[in-house]
Amino acid sequence: MSTEPVKYNGVPVPAGETISFLAGKPVTPDCPIIPFIEGDGIGTEIWGATRLVLDAAIARAYGSKRRIAWLEVFAGDKAKAQFGKALPDDTLAAIKAFGIAIKGPLNTPTGGGMRSLNVTLRQTFDLYQCVRPVRYFPGVPSVVKSPQDLDVVIFRENTEDVYAGIEFKIDSDGAKRVISLLDEMGIKVLADSGIGIKIMSRMGSRRLVRRAIQYAIDHNRKVVTLVHKGNIQKFTEGAFRDWGYELAREEFADLIITEADLWAKHNGVLPEGKILLNDRIADAMFFEVLTKPNKFSVIATMNLNGDYLSDACAAQVGGLGIAPGANIGDKSAIFEATHGTAPDIAGKNLANPCSVILSGVMMLEYLGWKEAAQIVMQTVEKTIGARTVTGDLARFMSDSKQLSTSEFAQAMVDNMPPLPAAAVTVDTTATAIAAPTTANEVVAAPAAANEVVAVPESTQEAEARPETAAPATTASKDGASASPIDTVTAPAGTETKVSPAG
Ligand SMILES: NC(=O)c1ccc[n+]([C@@H]2O[C@H](COP(=O)([O-])OP(=O)(O)OC[C@H]3O[C@@H](n4cnc5c(N)ncnc54)[C@H](O)[C@@H]3O)[C@@H](O)[C@H]2O)c1
């Protein structure tokens, strides 16, 4: 065996273990190696704050028994500057090898240039669920009267729809050929058109809706709403709705009640233990989520609707600075801030780090480290509740104390419970480990169980992606959890036991 340390982008892998995946869930060792991407713009500042907070919470929850071995990987401007490429092969190889990553925001040019790095990451690792919980934190200024009425978890399909990247520029060979084909089919399109193609597969719709329903079951949520624009886009958005109901009938028949049945058979009252599955046309949904927010709980929708809806919902509870997100597949997951790089405040130590911190909470829950997740969540509530906040919130809170990004992170740590008596100082320095002979190859993953189904840039191969088996339908009543991350569930009888709490 080689004694050379494993390196990605020249950075030695720290001492730690590799997370493996079983039936769509991570099997978490006590010291998992987790790659992080700082991100562009405010990324460095908010990631630094997040790492401090997550490490402090893990130490408080588990003493020296558990820690994360962080591995920096590069993407975006930093990668371009150092390696001449915005998304180096080694970055993809590291995420593939270690399964889970967390990232700050990345710049994406509009109207040309390179493809979105975020979209590339989601499609490369087939992260088909974009999970965004939206809830209110008391004290956060909001534009609506009762922001606490909104508490939803949005499951946005993450790989298809108009995000599949099937686009042809005006006057390009591709645009001309598509226009000509349409002409042959009797469909007239102006010659000076750019063309984009929207796709939605049955498999892609069903696996997303399956996860959303399973999440509702696992978290004792009573309503799952399919959001679509099926009245206009019948064979994509309309089909998404139909496939969603079809899936529910096939796999969750004993638990699901449709809106029609609710009134026809149950007098409008949801029977105990059942979940209402309904659907809304997208425009009506935007109206209703604002006017009747407490009618909704879990939302499953397609890519573009989900993009719009999650930002609109985040605005209702106080903005993007506190909105976390996760991109989850069956064999990997990437947790990320939902906002952008905020170039206007980058480098000024002003940014609110809560979006990445709360994405870290989702990651901890996904790892099964619920105690640490709870410490971070409670500390966010406590710190914001004490009206000690960053400028984006402070300017709307008359009696608040404005903190810088780094001061907010320190206030979070100060607000945490004390370290357990037996805790020893955690050594977070990166210690190089000996390389397994093939582990540093771009396509080689250290653990066979962790293998990622790489999806080509086009989703034309969507049908090649494996559909997971039917999930268990027994509910675990964990309504208190504010994070959706343990939605990633295993098929009945095969649920992975993650490391127990320390
Ligand atoms: N997930 C991602 O990586 C992601 C998401 C959205 C946008 N982007 C990219 O980010 C760049 C800038 O986009 P944009 O300006 O449209 O959106 P943005 O989210 O970066 O900024 C919008 C506004 O919100 C503020 N803001 C954002 N995050 C904040 C935070 N954490 N704390 C305080 N204020 C915050 C900014 O100062 C700005 O006024 C673009 O290149 C875009 O493509 C990346």
Bridge pairing between strands 298-301 and 223-228: parallel
Given 8, 62, 128, 163, which residue is catalytic?
163
Distance in Å, CA 322 to ligand 1 centroid? 12
Per the annotation, the verdict on 163 as an active-site residue is yes
Long-range Cβ contacts of 466-471 (<8 Å, 24+ apart): 466/330, 467/203, 467/206, 467/207, 468/23, 468/24, 468/207, 468/210, 468/330, 469/23, 469/494, 470/210, 470/251, 471/210, 471/214, 471/251
Task: Give pLDDT, residue 490.
Answer: 31
Q: Where are the domains of the chain?
A: 1-128+332-352+403-455, 162-197
Task: Give pLDDT, residue 206.
Answer: 98
Angle between helices 405-414 and 43-62 (to 10 degrees): 10
**Per-residue burial over 44-53, b = 16 or more CB atoms within 10 Å of its CB, e = otherwise:** bbbbbbbbbb
Residue 277 contacts residue 496 (beta carbons within 8 Å) = no
Q: Using a 6 Å cutoff on CB, does residue 111 contact ligand 1?
A: no
What does DSSP assign to residue 237? I
Ranges in the chain, pLDDT < 70: 1-3, 109-115, 422-502
Report how far residue 221's alpha carbon sits from residue 156's, in angstroms, rounded to the nearest whole number. 17
The helix (H) or strand (E) run that includes residue 131 is: strand 129-134
Report how far residue 469's alpha carbon sits from residue 23's, in angstroms, rounded to the nearest whole number. 8
Report how far residue 441's alpha carbon sits from residue 202's, in angstroms, rounded to the nearest whole number. 35
Report how far residue 418's alpha carbon sits from residue 407's, in angstroms, rounded to the nearest whole number. 19
Residue 468 contacts residue 24 (beta carbons within 8 Å) = yes
Distance in Å, CA 356 to ligand 1 centroid? 13
Report how far residue 269's alpha carbon sits from residue 292's, in angstroms, rounded to the nearest whole number. 18
Positive or negative torsion for Cα 277, 282, 284, 286: positive
Give pTM, 2 decimals.
0.81
Q: Using a 6 Å cutoff on CB, does residue 106 contact ligand 1?
A: yes
> Backbone phi, then psi, for 36, in 5-degree steps?
-130, 150
Q: Reduced to 3 states, what is the DSSP secondary structure of residue 335?
A: strand
Question: Residue by residue, what is the 3-state secondary structure of 1-22?
Answer: CCCCECEECCEECCCCECCEEE
Residue 51 contacts residue 34 (beta carbons within 8 Å) = no
CA 482 to the chain's CA centroid = 14
Residue 495 contacts residue 23 (beta carbons within 8 Å) = yes
Dihedral, CA of residue 428, residue 488, residue 337 and residue 359, to nearest 10: -50
Q: Reduced to 3 states, what is the DSSP secondary structure of residue 385?
A: helix
Residue-wise pLDDT for 132-189, tens only, equals: 999 999 888 888 999 999 999 999 999 999 988 899 999 999 999 999 999 999 999 9
Which residue, 471, 493, 405, 422, is CA-closest to 59?
A: 422
Task: Give pLDDT, residue 246.
Answer: 97
Task: Give pLDDT, residue 112.
Answer: 53
CA 366 to the chain's CA centroid = 11
CA atoms within 13 Å, Cβ hemisphere of 303: 20
Per the annotation, the verdict on 486 as an active-site residue is no
Q: Which residue owns the Cα nearest ligand 1 atom 23?
A: 342
Given 151, 161, 279, 307, which residue is catalytic?
307
Per the annotation, the verdict on 307 as an active-site residue is yes
Q: Using a 6 Å cutoff on CB, does residue 502 contact ligand 1?
A: no
Burial category of 455 from C-beta neighbours within 10 Å (exposed 0-12, middle 13-18, buried 19 and up)? buried
Report how far residue 223's alpha carbon sits from residue 275's, in angstroms, rounded to the nearest whole number. 6
Per the annotation, the verdict on 478 as an active-site residue is no
User: Looking at ligand 1, which atom is closest to the CA of residue 46?
Assistant: 31
Task: Give pLDDT, residue 14.
Answer: 95
- For a mutational test of ligand 1's pocket, the pick from 103, 106, 118, 341, i.e. the residue with the most ligand atoms closer than 8 A to its C-beta, is 341
Given the structure tokens 């309504």, which residue do they identify? 479
**Structure tokens given for 352:** 């609110």
Report how far residue 407's alpha carbon sits from residue 390's, in angstroms, rounded to the nearest whole number. 9
Report how far residue 298's alpha carbon sits from residue 229's, in angstroms, rounded to the nearest whole number. 18
Q: Where are the beta strands (DSSP E) in 192-329?
A: 195-196, 223-228, 256-258, 275-281, 298-301, 324-328
Phi-psi label, residue 24: left if phi above 0, alpha if psi -120 to 50, beta otherwise: left
